[in-house]
Structure 1
Amino acid sequence: MVTVTLPDTWSYALRLPHDPRAARVARMTVRSALGGHGMHDVVDVAELLTSELVTDAYLHTAGPASLRLTALGGGRLRVGVWDSHPHIPAPFGRPPEDRVPDVPANADGGRGLRLVQEFATTWGGWPFGDDVLGRRGAGKLLWFEVGGGRCSSATSVSF
């Protein structure tokens, strides 16, 4: 009898419309993909942080976003979210100096990127230059990793 072992590296990509339901679709996709691959130990944090990035993409841009889930092996997951705005917010700039500022206790928002800073293993962001039509600022990619151990600060990795 032949036994088939699923690979521990895989990737999924999803294009998200500019729609208030995009974060929910992203959460459901993360939960389903990770559950299907047996990565139950990172589901909750990956779902939360993905939701934060997709919500920010919806709130701060007028265009679509893209979500990419990549299992890197060893229990590590990288999540990338592209959107059309070129600004790289803290903490995705130059870690570890680039920190998310404290949010007043009575503020209605502003805690999502702090969650990435606190719960992701590592993270980063890249602005994209001009698009193929020569328009300035073709957006950015923000990414984070979870699982496989905890780093003390963000590091550079290629996506």
Structure 2
Amino acid sequence: MPDKEPWEYSLYIPNDLRAVTVSRRTLRLILTMHGLIRLVDVVELLAAELVGNAVRHTKGPAALRVRWAVGVLRIGAWDTAPEPPDPPGAGAWDTEAEEGRGLVLVRACADEWGWHRLDNEGNRGKYVWCELAAA
């Protein structure tokens, strides 16, 4: 049974592709401990895409945030680049490509997704997020 009370975790990660695996395993543990095991597979996929983009396309550190409130799980990745992510499906779709499908997967698997710049209180960069309803 999922928690009724809200909770939130943040994981600060270096600019290192190994952070994707660390993020996935950390999320698996968090969701298991909070009774949301049925969401693990899709959340791992979503987080891998968000964190992968954050460390692959920027030079600075990144962070993963997961928040549960009112039956909705929000997963987000912060990175140091203020530029917007490429829109899902931008450019030619190459079924053989190993890159370029991340936000297409996020859009397909999440109930909602979006991004915003962080320009206040000394924060820089952007935050890309997605949400899943636990219904």
Q: Under a length normalisation based on structure 2, what TM-score does the superposition of the two structures give?
A: 0.88
* Match in the other structure for 2:51: 54
The higher-RCO structure (CA 8 Å, 6+ apart) is 2
CA contact under 8 A between 1:42 and 1:147: conserved in structure 2?
A: no
Instruction: Give 1:28 deviation, angstroms.
Output: 0.6
Runs of 4+ in 1 over 4 A off after TM superposition: none
What residue is the counterpart of 1:152 in the other structure? none
- Find the counterpart in structure 2 of residue 100 from structure 1: 89
Quote how far apart the aligned CAs of 1:8 are.
3.5
Give the percent of matched residue pairs that are identical in Structure 1 and Structure 2.
41
The unaligned stretches of length 5 or more in structure 1 are: 1-5, 92-98, 150-159
Instruction: Give the alignment partner of residue 85 of structure 2, picking from 89, 97, 103.
Output: 89
Please tell me whether residue 141 in structure 1 is matched to residue 130 in structure 2: no
TM-score between both structures, scaled by the size of structure 1: 0.76
Q: Which structure has the greater CA radius of gyration?
A: 1
Return the offset for 1:90.
4.2
Q: CA deviation at 1:148?
A: 3.5
1:108 is displaced (CA, Å) by 2.5
**1:73-108 Cα shifts (integer Å, max 9, x gaps):** 32x2001110001112244xxxxxxx4235212223
- Give the 5 Å matches for 1:100-139: 100-101=89-90, 103-129=93-119, 132=122, 138-139=124-125
> How much has 1:126 moved relative to structure 2?
0.4
